[in-house]
Structure 1
Amino acid sequence: MKTIGLIGGTSWHSTIVYYKLINEMVGETIGTQGNPELLIYSINIEIMRAQDAEKINNKYLEASLKLQESGAEALVICANTPHMAYKFVQPRIDIPILHIADATGKEAIRLGVGKVGLLGNKPTMTKGFIPELLKDNYGIETIIPQGEALEKSHFYVSRELTQGRFTDEARTFFLDQISQLKARGAEAVVLGCTELPILISPESSDIPLLATTDLHARMAADFILGNS
């Protein structure tokens, strides 16, 4: 099996989910008598809250180089928002970063989806590092919440979900946003926050919900097993 490095900590809750899913998915093939070798670098989430792009880029480069030097053959960033550092980091290291939007785009294509809604925090929805890759690599259009809902989505993700708080109020808000995105033409909705699938189940929506965490973890498991 190949060794991958996980860059986690943003949040640590999501890192646990990634670790669990990757082990379970690899276990589907190798059984429960063993498990993959994983390297983890856990970053302090405070660096994301400062919203200093240069510091974020340099920190993720530092983490990537340390994991590469430690034997990682590929990297997985265990959250959506830190993928903003991908364009800076990838050209400066010698191993691939498995991009969360590639995992999402491939599933959307499999489902025959050409237009998706995107939910998450404000940088994930507006910075372009997910919508641009979906458009350029898969021809998929992305729409996001409008007006006040954009700020409200950011609040729930950054101040509640990433801190392990899952409230009925937040669940009601995101289910309403899914309905609104569908009304605007979305054929599926990307849950662009690692904790969103914990809050919202697929059964609660009448259009597909693309849980980026699950899809990304599957991409990692496939790489470990040599299936990619």
Structure 2
Amino acid sequence: MNLLGMIGGTSWHSTIEYYRLLNELVGEEIGKQQNPPLLLYSLNVKLMRENDPEKIKNSYLEIAQKLENAGARAIIICANTPHLVYDFVQPKIDIPILHIADAIAKEAKQKGFKKLGLLGTKPTMKGSFLHGRLAEKHQIETLVPAQEHIDETHRFISEELTQGKFTDAAKDFYLEQMQLLKDRGAEAIILGCTELPMLIKEKDTKIPILDTTQLHAQLATEFILKGNN
């Protein structure tokens, strides 16, 4: 199997989900008596909260290089928002970073979705690293909440979900935003923060959801097992 490098820590709650899913998904393919080779670097979430773009990019590059030098054959960033470093880091290393947008697009294409709603942090919703890649590489349109709801969408994530706090108020808010996005034409909703699938489950809504954590882990599992064929 291919050794996979993992960059986690933003937050550690979602990193646990990635680690669990990778072990479970690989086990489903090769048997529960085995588990995949994984190399985890868990960074301090304080890095993201400092909101220093240059420091963030260079820190992720340093970590990616450490994982590559340690033998990783690919890297997975265990969160949505840190993918903002992808265009900076990927050209400077010789192994692939498995992009979360590609995992989303694969599932969307299989289900025939061409217009998706996106919920996540403010950088994920306002930046181009996710919906720009979906549009340019995969021809998938993305909708985000109305401007007056952007701050609250971000606040619940940064102040509650990443701290391990999952409340009914947060769930009700995101379910309302999902309906508003559907009313604007979204065929499915991207839960574009790795804590959101921990809050919103398929049983909570009739609107199709795309669990980025699950889909990203599936993409990584395929890569891990390429070395087992």
TM-score, with length taken from structure 2: 0.98
Q: Offset of 1:147 from its aligned partner?
A: 2.4
What is the CA deviation profile of residues 139-171 of structure 1, one whole-angstrom value per residue up to 9, with x for unaligned ones? 111010112210001000111111100000000
For 1:172 and 1:207, locate their aligned partners in 2 and report how far apart those are by CA, in whole Å. Answer: 14
Query: In structure 2, what is the equivalent of residue 59 of structure 1?
Result: 59
Q: Offset of 1:188 from its aligned partner?
A: 0.5
Query: In structure 2, what is the equivalent of residue 218 of structure 1?
Result: 218
For 2:160, what is the secondary structure of its paired residue? helix
For 1:67 and 1:54, locate their aligned partners in 2 and report how far apart those are by CA, in whole Å. Answer: 20
For 1:184 and 1:32, locate their aligned partners in 2 and report how far apart those are by CA, in whole Å. Answer: 44
For 1:98 and 1:31, locate their aligned partners in 2 and report how far apart those are by CA, in whole Å. Answer: 24
Q: Which amino acid aligns with 1:221?
A: T
What is the CA deviation profile of residues 126-149 of structure 1, one whole-angstrom value per residue up to 9, with x for unaligned ones? 011000000011111101011221
Alignment: residue pair count: 228
What is the CA deviation profile of residues 97-122 of structure 1, one whole-angstrom value per residue up to 9, with x for unaligned ones? 00000000111111100100000110
For 2:177 and 2:14, locate their aligned partners in 1 and report how far apart those are by CA, in whole Å. Answer: 22
Q: Which amino acid aligns with 1:183?
A: D
Q: Which amino acid aligns with 1:81?
A: T
RMSD, aligned CA = 1.1
- Alignment of 1:91 onto 2:119: no
Q: Offset of 1:6 from its aligned partner?
A: 0.2
Query: In structure 1, what is the equivalent of residue 19 of structure 2?
Result: 19
For 1:207 and 1:167, locate their aligned partners in 2 and report how far apart those are by CA, in whole Å. Answer: 20
Query: In structure 1, what is the equivalent of residue 133 of structure 2?
Result: 133
For 1:150, what is the secondary structure of its paired residue? helix
Q: Offset of 1:207 from its aligned partner?
A: 2.1
Gaps of 5+ in 1: none
For 1:117, what is the secondary structure of its paired residue? strand
Structure 1: which 4+ aligned runs deviate by more than 3 Å? none
Q: Which amino acid aligns with 1:175?
A: L
For 1:147 and 1:135, locate their aligned partners in 2 and report how far apart those are by CA, in whole Å. Answer: 21
What is the CA deviation profile of residues 43-101 of structure 1, one whole-angstrom value per residue up to 9, with x for unaligned ones? 11111111111011001001100000000000000000000000000000000000000
Q: Which amino acid aligns with 1:128?
A: S
Q: Contact 1:178–1:205 (CA<8 Å) still a contact in 2?
A: no
Query: In structure 1, what is the equivalent of residue 111 of structure 2?
Result: 111
